[in-house]
Structure 1
Amino acid sequence: MPDTQNTPLSRALQLASRVDAIEPFRVMEMVKQAAAMRRAGIDVISMSVGEPDFTAPDMVAEAAVEAIRGGATQYTESLGLPALREAISGHYQRFYGLDIDPRRIVVTAGASAGLLLACAALVAEGDEVLMPDPCYPCNRHFVSAFGGKPVLLYSSAAERYQLTAAHLAEHWNNRSRGVLVASPSNPTGTSMTVPQARELLGAVRARGGFAIVDEIYQGLSYDGKPVSALALDDSVITVNSFSKYFNMTGWRLGWLVVPDALVPVFEKLAQNLFICAPTIAQHAALACFGDDALAIFEARRLEFQRRRDFLVPALRELGFGVPVMPDGAFYVYADITALPHRHANDSTAFAKAVLEEAHVAIVPGDDFGFAAPARHVRFSYATQYERIEEAVQRLARLLGK
């Protein structure tokens, strides 16, 4: 990790200690290297970035243009456009059978801003927040940014790589404040089962803690109808996004559902920290909930499932360990230790070899925690099916299969 305290600028300006608690996002380094290879004329297949290869449908783009032409570009209310909060509420009713008061919905500048708001509201200096290992790296950095201590607890394939009530029974102490989990998860693509989630949330509630549940990939679920944590415990804070299921990553738009009593707290924080989410993106997002748009999103979800159903067996055939089938998102978290390769015990070196020799960009496990990251790599299947087929062929050649 770079020594941020020993640069010319940092010697002149004393940086906050939190800067050193936040590690580089290594996946972006892999992205930069792959981009440099492409500029040099090398055909690199990207299976690294967690970004849909689909973009916003035409009706969403047109709604944005109409907003610009109509002058709807000024600040909205800090909690979001009332019409959008109503539309999101209707989405919960339509897809999950949940009656969520629009008042409880906080529109944010992406899910990241939602997680920052939640941590700003709930995490005090020295508070411990429990989360599974492996998990999305930025989640622990959100906690650190507000003086909290992320506590990553090894979560096995048998536990679907998820935090459990048993983890709390063993590790909760007088400094523990709450949990931050994701279902489906990045990097594993696995969700909590309903009994697992119910037990975990019950254990948190029994201890007087908070639960933040990241559900940004829940729209991309493949093996049965997903169940929101809101259906199990009305006191949880859920995070969602227009980036993944709705294919609007660069529009920077997400939302929270918070307990009614906390709405004024989140409104105050939102007013001060970012005023409002991007206005044009909010107007565009209204078009996501029409029947034609939803039909497009559903077709794209099924395409992601088709890719998963090809990729996971193909990786297993090559010798990658995938002990639990990912049921959501667009990731496969694979063990490399049984592979016939010189770097089968070093995921960083292995990912570099795959990029430089097979011209396929994947991500080493280092970003995602401390539980055997050298054993694991993450594949993203957010790229065209035919490119995934070609990537498997290149891996087969690399591994002598």
Structure 2
Amino acid sequence: MSLNELASRLNNIAPFHVMELAKKAAVLEKQGRHIIHMGIGEPDFTAPPAVVEAATRAMADGKMQYTSATGLPQLRQAISDHYRSVYGLDIAPERIVVTAGASAALLLACAALVEKGAQVLMPDPSYPCNRHFVAAFEGQAKLIASGPEHRFQLSAQMVREHWNEATRGVLLASPSNPTGTSILPEELRAIVAEVRARRGFTIVDEIYQGLSYEGTPFSALSLGEDVVVINSFSKYFNMTGWRLGWLVLPPALVPQIEKLAQNLFICASSIAQHAGVACFSPESIAIYEERKAEFKRRRDYIVPALESLGFKVPVVPDGAFYVYADCSALSDDADQLTIDMLNEAGVVLVPGLDFGPFTARRYIRLSYATSMENLQEAVARLRTFFASRKVA
């Protein structure tokens, strides 16, 4: 096939630089180098015993057939019960659609809501795949520059100022990748009100909501049934490779999403779904909460450690497992700095290039989803790395 015959939408999908750095790191590892990975956002914890046992039992019992496109009833009910126990929200299980990861959830939401030429507002910086989901359906992700004064998030004022006749909605993430910052509840309430007044849609990615370290647990679902929320078993529940997530939808949207899911995915992995039910057992939740406390401990170590190296952390992350650090006092090119840190110090960090042009050259993202020992070793290596640059 000639490249000229490929769909033009591919021109709107940029390479994912974090994966390119991971490839370079793999080459160095093959050469015998020890590399500390703080690039990819993947928990170093795996599924707890009860979850693994549930998957094993499902396979042994032959429970591997297709499920309904909306998911196992018992899993939808377990998710509903979780919203009640953690957030105090009554979310009918019929509004919950189980998906093949949060990526499938975003794909389905954009397939249902994004028309050709539709503009969707989101902050710069934001997770690159989110804007690519919009582009995949020939919409336009309009990135709005958002600095530390706005916690790297959209505000209601930004929505008012940037909404135009082509705008159809907003796509938010709270807590956010790459920044680990949440939208404050009162601000999110104001954003939803602005969008609602314009008869638009609000999609909120809450895949890191379980890893919120400050304040009372809050979900955008408390703001009304018209808010579409996406969540995942990958982050808080430590099931990245299991490819399991969910959508919470307005009741009227459920049949339409179900129709799309039937045609695009049939269903999420049945084995992963049976395992997912066990995530909500008391023993599993206790393990997840211990791990959450460990992530917070790592955050509380790495933020001051980065500042001691010369980075600035203008907003301390209140969730997820990322730090978005200003490296402008150390380099005027975050991309080149991350390459140098990999080659010379054996430490993988990610430049802001992936997350939007506004912060591309000034910021780097660090993932602290690795052991405390690795974090301490990385800081020691980077201290030596920056000291040698000063000498040179």
Partner of 1:360: 347
Per-residue CA deviations over 1:304-340 (Å, capped at 9, x if unaligned) read 000000000111111101101100000001111112x
Answer yes or no: is the 8 Å Cα contact 2:124–2:359 preserved in 1: no
Per-residue CA deviations over 1:163-186 (Å, capped at 9, x if unaligned) read 111111111000000000000000
Separation in 1 of the partners of 2:120 and 2:349? Answer: 29
Alignment of 1:42-57 (within 5 A): 42-57=33-48
RMSD, aligned α-carbons: 0.9
Partner of 2:103: 112
Partner of 2:265: 274
Alignment of 1:96-107 (within 5 A): 96-107=87-98
Separation in 1 of the partners of 2:156 and 2:146? Answer: 12
Corresponding residue SS for 2:357: coil
Per-residue CA deviations over 1:214-267 (Å, capped at 9, x if unaligned) read 000000011122310001232100000000000000000000000011111111
Q: Bigger shift: 367-376 or 250-259?
A: 367-376
Gaps of 5+ in 2: none
Separation in 2 of the partners of 1:321 and 1:349? Answer: 18
Give, as a single letter, the amino acid of the residue that structure 1 aligns with 2:385. Answer: L
Separation in 1 of the partners of 2:241 and 2:267? Answer: 16
Corresponding residue SS for 1:226: coil
Give the drift of 1:282. 0.2
Partner of 1:10: 3
Q: Bigger shift: 106-115 or 40-49?
A: 40-49
Partner of 1:3: none
Partner of 1:259: 250
Answer yes or no: is the 8 Å Cα contact 2:209–2:319 preserved in 1: yes
Separation in 2 of the partners of 1:233 and 1:351? Answer: 42
Corresponding residue SS for 2:286: helix
Corresponding residue SS for 2:358: coil
Per-residue CA deviations over 1:139-173 (Å, capped at 9, x if unaligned) read 00000000100000001101111011111111100
Residue 79 of structure 1: which of 53, 64, 70 is its match? 70
Q: Bigger shift: 391-400 or 87-96?
A: 391-400
Corresponding residue SS for 1:211: strand
Alignment of 1:308-347 (within 5 A): 308-339=299-330, 344-347=331-334
Corresponding residue SS for 1:399: helix
Give the drift of 1:372. 3.0
Counterpart check, 1:395 vs 2:382: yes
Answer yes or no: is the 8 Å Cα contact 2:120–2:169 preserved in 1: yes
Tell me the TM-score normalized by structure 2.
0.98
Partner of 2:32: 41
Separation in 2 of the partners of 1:225 and 1:295? Answer: 18
Gaps of 5+ in 1: 1-7
Separation in 2 of the partners of 1:194 and 1:264? Answer: 30
Give, as a single letter, the amino acid of the residue that structure 2 aligns with 1:334. Answer: A
Tell me the TM-score normalized by structure 1.
0.96
Separation in 1 of the partners of 2:27 and 2:285? Answer: 36
Corresponding residue SS for 1:374: coil
Q: How many residues align?
A: 388
Partner of 1:195: 186
Q: Bigger shift: 258-267 or 34-43?
A: 34-43
Alignment of 1:197-236 (within 5 A): 197-236=188-227
Separation in 1 of the partners of 2:2 and 2:270? Answer: 35
Counterpart check, 1:137 vs 2:128: yes
Corresponding residue SS for 1:371: helix
Counterpart check, 1:178 vs 2:169: yes
Separation in 2 of the partners of 1:352 and 1:138? Answer: 22
Between the aligned residues of both structures, percent identity stands at 60
Counterpart check, 1:153 vs 2:140: no
Partner of 1:166: 157
Q: Bigger shift: 26-35 or 83-92?
A: 26-35
Answer yes or no: is the 8 Å Cα contact 2:86–2:217 preserved in 1: no
Counterpart check, 1:61 vs 2:52: yes
Partner of 1:301: 292
Partner of 1:287: 278
Give the drift of 1:103. 0.1
Give, as a single letter, the amino acid of the residue that structure 2 aligns with 1:350. Answer: L
Give, as a single letter, the amino acid of the residue that structure 2 aligns with 1:75. Answer: Y
